[in-house]
Chain A
Amino acid sequence: MTIADYPAVNKDVLSRRVRRWGALYQAEATLRSMRAYGGVILFASTFQPIMYILAMGLGLGVLVGAETDFSAYGADSYLMYIAPAILASTVAMTAGIEFTFPVMEGFKWRRKYYGAQATALTPPQIALGHILGVSCRFGLHALIFTAVLFAFGALSSPAALLMILSSTLGALAIGLPIMAYISSLRDEKGHAAIIQRFVIMPLFLFSGTFYPLTNLPQFLQVIGWVSPIWHANELGRVLAFGQPTDLWLVAVHIGYLSAIVVVAWFAVQRVFTRRLGYDEWRGRIPGLKADQRRQERQDAKAAATESYQRSEGVPPVAFRRGVGANYYSGNIRAVFSRGLTAIRNNRGIIFISGFLEPVLFLTSFGLGVSPMISGIEAADGGTISYAMFIAPALLAVSAMNGAVFDSTWNVFFKLKITKLYRTMMSTSLGPVDVAVGEIALALFRGGIYALGFLGVLVATGLVTPLPALLMWITALFIALGFACIGMAVTSFMKRFQQMDWMMMVLIPMFLFSATLFPIDVYPTGVQWVIQALPLWHGVELMRDIAFWDFGAMTLVHIGYYLVMVGVGGALAAYRMKALFLR
């Protein structure tokens, strides 16, 4: 008697059930793990559409609507025109996250898939389970989004509900190829960030979300044709307000998206089967050759400098006496140089990619929105081009984003995950050395990005060299202000989820702070709120310099940032021990 024919019936039924429904079990596991940050997901799904509608639909819409008519597309207003596209785009952007980090987590960080592999689940079922689970999130997001759009009167047809399907299809078309790629990697070393910046960002920005794709020059339209987001956007517009479209084109949209999904699904299946099947393939290591070459170079260098003398007694260790000696030991340089070494050890492309974002934004909005707006009224009564209007703002935004990311997420990561600061604090470094060193590093990085972006602005004639130089210094100043506040805020942080909430502050700040349109489209009360926010002052300060038009307000902006540096710096210094000695 073998095990197989013991309580034979039950085992057979059980394994047949797993074979048939296994993917659903895996999907349930995926959904359960999402519940941990369910609050953020629900909030984001509701909050995001409202923000976009208020900012782009109603804010930018005032400018665009005054000059451009969308009735040829079947839409009553600019808001109506962009609403379905924003839905499809935000779902697709979510896919860019859900198919990268959680997949890496499954294979490497927490090896969840290997747990599932030990059961009767097959590798394709595990993959399908993840896809199904994530699709539920897309569906929920799209459902809430659609409801909000109905509430704002941005949808005219009940067929709009079908957008839940079209946007999920678009998200899968962008997500599954990424899933196939990520799951073939042994380890994530900034690949997700590279995909985000070099693939998803361009596909999003040149997908005709905020304007008809035809506004762009021909060669950029090509990106749109390739982009699943454009196809999903166009489907959404057909469903939401019946944008006049040839039937064959609708078929092309659906066919293109489905074809990608099917092909990518086979690729995903193949990779999952290889990794979770019998041969237990451990995944590719891209850049391995480059790493090996680097190691050979270093070995050669080490061999050349072999003839060092044995050390004879240790030189004196650096520390200070006197005021603040408990906090500052005068060795910021070491912290800074550690950061440089780490950057050098990482792949250069990650570093470079930071400067790409503002350039892409400028290209997309400058070229795409300009045809719909004849110009923006300048302070001196003349008009300036839309690109000229947003360029200084994008520099300020980029300075803010970089500084906030470095002083919050990065600091928190080194505090909690890599424990780098614990290492530093077991040497003669003081907390101030560490904090200032990290801020200096953030400014260094931000300074290089700003330099690159300003180079583009000067080359395209959007800014002249002298203001550009002042703007560079201002970018560093803005970054310093945000970095000080960021450090102070981080000292109160306890969990990673709190970091997600911070994004909820940054996105609206970006959308409303006179970056993409002047704030006088809003009622006075709203304007006051915006004017109280730091980014608005940064944006306006940048514009004052770019247009060489200074006034009393310029001083107010500068003063605002001086206060930010002072208060943020003082609070961070006060919280120094809480930050590093926990």
Chain B
Amino acid sequence: MSISSALESSAPSDTAPAPAIDATSLVKEYGDFTAVDGITFSVRRGESFGLLGPNGAGKSTTMRMIAAVASRTEGQMLVAGLDPEQHGPEVRARLGVIPQQDNLDEELTVRENIIMYGRYFGLPRRYLRAKADELLEFAQLEHKANSRVEDLSGGMKRRLTIARALVNEPEVLLLDEPTTGLDPQARHVLWDRLFRLKESGTTLVLTTHHMDEAEQLCDRLVVVDHGAIMAEGTPAGLIREHSTREVLELRFGTDRNAEQAKTLEELLTGAGPDADFSHIEVLPDRLLVYAGQAESALEAIHAAGHKPMTSLVRRSSLEDVFLRLTGRSLID
């Protein structure tokens, strides 16, 4: 899983046009609970921006504030230069929203769902009839065009929700875990579509729990936890910054992982610069040894007489960054 340097070259530059989304110190409180706690970010036009974070981090809440369907408690937000709370309809006219939970209209057929959604945008029926055909084809639902929504499978509903959000050819597309429930084939169709939308200048804002998806799709991303931003950068930049080049995965058996971690930590810290050791992450089923030269680290471990049940050397990925930045909440 290599990250091309092409992505790095799309780092923010000073000559960028006015941002598609500009959020400053966003706060959202539900009663005494603070779901979003001072988030600041900015998304350039045509950029593809990712929000990562564990369950309950505040990603969906942030998305809903961008889409002007949740009010902010504090902070500023500009979408295409407009405050969504002051100019809701005008802002939403430029948006395509794919919520985390499908909210299709169960009283309408598949086709009517797309057409009616377009009518809410005030689009003419002539245009919508043709557009609906195109979107049904994209969602591979032509054969279900006149079925009731309740007769669709879960993945089909997801595809319809995604297709529907494209009916107004939005400038900014908000995708909240778009591929949850999709089969691999449908996932690739969607990725392909998103790449093409990006080429034609659409801004994408995406949340996902699939790190490979984030690496593939996002130019830039932020990792959010407990409603605050933990890190920000390109996928490659984040890996460089928060992880080592390579990772060594070791299994000692579920009961022994934790105690082995301590021993290995001492061993590798003393092993010298050869292994370029950074730290060890303890997962329930395995240990992740972060070392620039994982092979040397493994040699050192073998040399000291430790016998892991399995070992695997691989390159660092976004998943490692995610674990590093948000892993603590998993363990404690």
Measured CB to CB, the residues of A under 8 A from B are: 295, 298-299, 302, 305, 308-311, 313-315, 317-321, 325-331, 333-335, 337-338, 341-342, 345-346, 418-420, 422-430, 577, 581
Contacts and interface: CB of A to CB of B under 8 A. Distances in A.
Main secondary structure of the interface of A (DSSP, over half): loop
Interface string B48-70: 00000000000000000001011
B7 interface: no
A35 B110 CA distance: 39
Interface string B105-129: 1111101100011011111100101
Contacts of B122: 317-319, 329-331, 334, 428
A350 to B, nearest CB: 12
Interface residues on B, range: 35 or more
B133 interface: yes
Interface string B71-84: 10000000000000
B251 interface: no
Contacts of B130: 308-311
Contacts of B123: 314-315, 317-318
A161 B119 CA distance: 61
B274 interface: no
Contacts of B145: 299, 302
* Pairs A-B, 7 closest by C-beta atoms: A318-B122, A427-B120, A428-B93, A329-B89, A342-B107, A314-B169, A334-B119
B146 A295 contact: yes
B89 A338 contact: no
Contact of A346 (B101, B107, B121): B107
B154 interface: no
18 contacts: A311-B127, A311-B130, A311-B131, A313-B169, A314-B127, A315-B124, A317-B121, A321-B90, A325-B89, A330-B122, A331-B120, A338-B116, A338-B120, A422-B99, A423-B104, A427-B93, A428-B93, A428-B120
A310 B221 CA distance: 35
Contacts of A429: 89, 92, 120
B103 A423 contact: yes
Interface string B259-296: 00000000000000000000000000000000000000
Contact of A426 (B85, B97, B106, B116): B97
B153 interface: no
B208 interface: no
Contacts of B310: none
A319 B97 contact: no
Contacts of B15: none
B89 A320 contact: yes
A326 B103 contact: no
Given A331-B122, A426-B69, A319 B93 contact: yes
Contacts of A425: 69, 92
Given A305-B129, A314-B169, 17 more contacts: A299-B145, A299-B146, A309-B130, A314-B127, A317-B94, A318-B123, A326-B85, A326-B86, A328-B89, A333-B119, A338-B105, A338-B116, A420-B103, A423-B117, A426-B95, A427-B93, A428-B90
A345 B89 contact: no
Nearest to B85: A326
A311 B134 contact: yes
Give the most central of A299, A329, A426, A581: most B CB within 10 Å.
A426
B120 A334 contact: yes
A77 to B, nearest CB: 50
Given A308-B133, A329-B122, A428-B121, A342 B108 contact: yes
B87 A325 contact: yes
Contacts of A330: 122
Nearest to B165: A426
B147 interface: yes
B253 interface: no
A326 B107 contact: no
A319 B106 CA distance: 26
A310 B134 contact: yes
Contact of B105 (A308, A331, A346, A420): A420
Contacts of B148: 345
A319 B89 contact: yes
A426 B89 contact: no
Interface of B: 67, 69-71, 85-90, 92-95, 97, 99, 101, 103-109, 111-112, 116-117, 119-124, 127, 129-131, 133-134, 145-148, 168-169
Contact of A298 (B86, B95, B146): B146
A294 to B, nearest CB: 8
A309 B131 CA distance: 9
Contacts of B88: 326-327, 430
Nearest to B71: A581
B266 to A, nearest CB: 52
A334 B128 CA distance: 13
Contacts of A346: 107
B69 A315 contact: no
B130 to A, nearest CB: 4
A418 B119 contact: no
Give the most central of A308, A335, A338, A428: most B CB within 10 Å.
A428
A428 B127 contact: no
A422 B103 contact: yes
B160 to A, nearest CB: 12
Nearest to A306: B133
A523 B117 CA distance: 56
B87 A308 contact: no
Given A302-B146, A341-B108, A427-B121, A577 B93 contact: no
B84 to A, nearest CB: 9
Nearest to A430: B89
A427 B127 contact: no
A335 B95 CA distance: 19
Nearest to B123: A315
A427 B164 CA distance: 11
B109 A298 contact: yes
Nearest to A298: B146
Nearest to A321: B90
Contacts of A335: 120
A317 B168 contact: yes
Contacts of A337: 116, 119
A326 B124 contact: no
Nearest to B106: A418
Give the most central of A320, A419, A423: most B CB within 10 Å.
A423
A423 to B, nearest CB: 5
Give the most central of A327, A338, A430: most B CB within 10 Å.
A338
A299 B94 CA distance: 32
B234 to A, nearest CB: 29
Nearest to B119: A334
Contacts of B105: 338, 342, 418, 420, 423
A346 to B, nearest CB: 7
B164 to A, nearest CB: 9
A345 B107 contact: yes
Contacts of B106: 418
A160 to B, nearest CB: 48
A420 B120 CA distance: 12
Contacts of B95: 426
Contacts of B93: 317-319, 427-428
Contacts of B103: 418-420, 422-423
Nearest to B112: A341
Nearest to A329: B89
A309 to B, nearest CB: 6
B87 A326 contact: yes
Nearest to A301: B146
